[in-house]
Chain A
């Protein structure tokens, strides 16, 4: 259970001289900042900037702070910012346990029980040796979430993670994700074009124009 805060200090992203967005905001522990806007408005590039892999073709400036630490210049793997993509992106060559183990810090002691516990908590107990390719869409999303949480991030980014799920699964996943994030006290930024997602997140909403 962390108590972190995520601050965006005048983050501005431009492409070919044209400014795409400016964000100046902060997200408290367990809170969700929702960014909405049509495609091409640069929402995903904001997340890429925060996570640390914005393509050099963009011009970006502004500070990103997690718990007061400036992570703007850190390499992506040291930022401890989790990212949930549209696709679950489970590594197809590893088993479920392999995927989860990948996320856990190498220095952790009992990875096996962490994995077992986590799987039970998302209702997928006993799935350790399963092949990710055999899972249903909903199961994959749950594993993706679990994997992200097991990496002990200090902040979480969500890039339209529910858009590829059907409406029933969507509602389930929304509940699961936001409750887990709240319970872990992680600040999150959600990018979406679906109003229902924003409502479910229940936090501040920033709308970008084209």
Chain B
């Protein structure tokens, strides 16, 4: 029965996504029976080419797609090179997972409230430093080339790439190799970059690919921070899809395929950059230079992470202030009074989305957990490791959401299955699955195999051994995986929007819908709710094991 589990994991991941992507292609070429399109036609493409500003939309998507991972990766590597083993490192390791769980919509809103002309930063330096009595007329948020979007994406992706790197590092034995390099005269940061970095990069190529796709095809962050005249390609596709005039679906399909192409192009450009970097790196290593640039690397590495942390913290503060702010004139740093009004006024509106969010995140995460545990257990019992499944696991992260969700919806609508909770939960499940697997697999595989061996020598069936020994021993990692899964589900926007046909509202879908045309205070309230939910999950993941095992000293450090 367990073998079914691991097979179904692959099928459940691959089939909807590949099918969805294929089906999205059909309307792009005119085939959409329910709308009367039965013949192959290039009309949608002709229309697409003539959309005003389409070239710019593509350019912006490409720019974010390539620059986000480039800069984020550079920051992560610089940090790892200069801070491994330091006190800063200890802090970062503990903060990475909670940082990751900060949903991107909330983070984007917070960033907007921080750096806008009338935002917290501007108020901090006015009128004292800047001399501004009124906010400066600067196009920061929604700037035309998407630089703020880029900034927001980088800040969000740095913790992700850091986590992936930290997970991959141990097998490289970095401290040993850096020691070796130092004994050969290399400064530690340069040594790390020359010795560890080239070996670390291949291990995190898949996460980097996920970042490229996300950055080039994101909808929610682009809606909040990205340009509006014209918007990014993905935002336009969503608008065409949601248009009251259903004939726009053809254009939306063509746009989705174009988005797929753009993301693929971004990946291709990245691959070329990879080759270029490899060549440059080889030259650099071959020079045998031991220490030039060490100071630069050290300071930028040590400085980068705290700056990222500062930005994220600042965003959080900006959200909290706005959520409880009474009247607040510029340039006062703080509101003239504080109030709970925004919360009490909107309490009713929050209830349904909150309940939906909880239902969907619990449903999708628990299903994912069950499947992941079954897969990991069957893998353990058969004794074979599935290394090939890795890229399959990343599939939901490697295909732009808007592409395969589009096709998926076309399929389900034709089966008259639309706008139901089960569909939304399934959609969330697809995205939660990779994260739950990634966060649990290490701990699961690393658990001392002798525990299960002891159990079986004591006559326990695999079933009994799994439930009475493995699961309790892995409670903390399981709870963390659940917290991460729920955090991912809570932050999803597009799957809820599209699969729920606008009928199922979650905290995130409502918050993003509010971004155009609601008061800052209201948005802040929603964003604060949105980000507290994952935090509660992590709190539970931390405290439940501590409570449960308070009389068990052996449970503090499980090998």
Contacts and interface: CB of A to CB of B under 8 A. Distances in A.
A77 B462 contact: yes
B454 interface: yes
B456 A76 contact: yes
Interface residues of B, number: 27
B46 to A, nearest CB: 59
Contact of A89 (B454, B462, B472): B454
Contacts of A87: 450
Nearest to B463: A77
Interface in B381-407: 383-384
B171 interface: no
Nearest to A152: B459
A92 B460 contact: no
A75 B462 CA distance: 10
Interface string A44-84: 00001001110110000000000000000001111011110
A39 B329 CA distance: 76
Interface centre among A56, A81, A133 (most CB of B within 10 A): A133
A92 B457 contact: no
Enumerate the 3 nearest inter-chain pairs by beta-carbon distance, A residue then B residue, closest first.
A92-B554, A133-B553, A133-B554
Contacts of B453: 48, 51, 53, 76, 83
13 contacts: A48-B453, A51-B456, A77-B456, A81-B457, A85-B454, A89-B450, A89-B451, A93-B552, A105-B459, A131-B554, A132-B554, A147-B458, A153-B457
A56 B462 CA distance: 18
A53 B380 CA distance: 11
A93 B549 contact: yes
B456 A131 contact: no
A134 to B, nearest CB: 6
A134 B553 contact: yes
B458 A103 contact: yes
A93 B473 contact: yes
B468 interface: yes
Contacts of A92: 473, 552-555, 558
Interface centre among A78, A80, A90, A102 (most CB of B within 10 A): A102
B130 interface: no
Contact of B551 (A55, A105, A131): A131
Interface centre among A75, A91, A132 (most CB of B within 10 A): A91
B454 A133 contact: no
Contacts of B469: 91
Contacts of A52: 456
Contacts of B457: 51, 76-77, 81-83, 148, 151, 153, 157
Given A77-B460, A93-B472, 18 more contacts: A48-B453, A51-B453, A51-B456, A75-B462, A77-B457, A83-B457, A89-B450, A89-B451, A92-B554, A93-B473, A102-B455, A102-B458, A131-B553, A132-B552, A132-B554, A133-B555, A151-B459, A157-B457
Interface string B424-467: 00000000000000000000000001110111111111100100
Interface string A169-195: 000000000000000000000000000
A151 B554 contact: no
Contacts of B551: 131
B392 to A, nearest CB: 23
Contacts of A91: 451, 454, 469, 473
Contacts of A77: 455-457, 459-462, 465
A27 B511 CA distance: 73
Contacts of B465: 77
Nearest to B554: A92
B455 to A, nearest CB: 7
Contacts of B455: 77, 102
Interface string B523-559: 0000000000000000000000000010111110010
A131 B454 contact: no
A56 B554 CA distance: 31
B458 A82 contact: yes
Given A83-B453, A83-B457, A55 B383 contact: yes
B409 to A, nearest CB: 44
A134 B552 CA distance: 8
A157 B462 CA distance: 20
Interface centre among A81, A93, A103, A131 (most CB of B within 10 A): A93
A37 B163 CA distance: 44
B145 to A, nearest CB: 55
A35 to B, nearest CB: 18
A56 B384 contact: yes
A56 B383 CA distance: 7
A51 B452 CA distance: 12
A55 B454 CA distance: 15
B286 to A, nearest CB: 36
A89 B448 CA distance: 10
Contacts of A89: 450-451, 454
